[in-house]
Amino acid sequence: MTRSRKTSVTPPPPHEIHQRHLHQLATFLIESEKILDAWDAYSDEHTDLDCWPHNPHAYGLRASRRDADTWRSFNRIRPFAKDLIATAEVQLQQLNATCVQSHWVWQLAMLDEALDQLNSLQQQWLAHRAELPASAGPGTEEYDDALTERNAEAWHCLNEWSNYGQAIHDIDDAARHAPPRLVGHAPTPVAAPPAAAVKPASARR
Mean pLDDT of the chain: 87
Q: What is the pLDDT of residue 196?
A: 44
Identify the three-state secondary structure at position 194.
coil
Asked whether the predicted pLDDT for residue 186 surpasses 80, the reply is no
Quote the Cα angle for 178-182-186, to 5°. Answer: 95
Q: What is the predicted pLDDT for the residue at 93?
A: 92
Does pLDDT of 204 surpass 80? no
Is the predicted pLDDT of residue 85 greater than 80, yes or no?
Answer: yes
What string of DSSP letters covers 98-158?
Answer: GG--THHHHHHHHHHHHHHHHHHHHHHHHHHHHHS-TT--TTSHHHHHHHHHHHHHHHHHH
Q: Is the pLDDT of residue 6 over 80?
A: no
Domain boundaries, the chain: 16-197
pLDDT at position 2 is 54
Residue 94's closest CA among 166, 15, 177, 23?
A: 177
pTM for the structure as a whole: 0.81
Phi, psi of 137, deg, nearest 5: -100, -175
| 203 band by pLDDT with thresholds 50, 70 and 90 | very low
pLDDT at 71 over 70: yes
The mean pLDDT value for 95-116 works out to: 94
How far is 183 from 154, CA to CA, in rounded Å?
A: 41
Q: What's the pLDDT at 190?
A: 47
Q: What is the mean pLDDT of residues 20-44?
A: 97
% of the chain at pLDDT higher than 70: 82
Q: How far apart are CA 203 and CA 40, in angstroms?
A: 10
* pLDDT at residue number 4: 54
Model confidence at 33: pLDDT above 80: yes
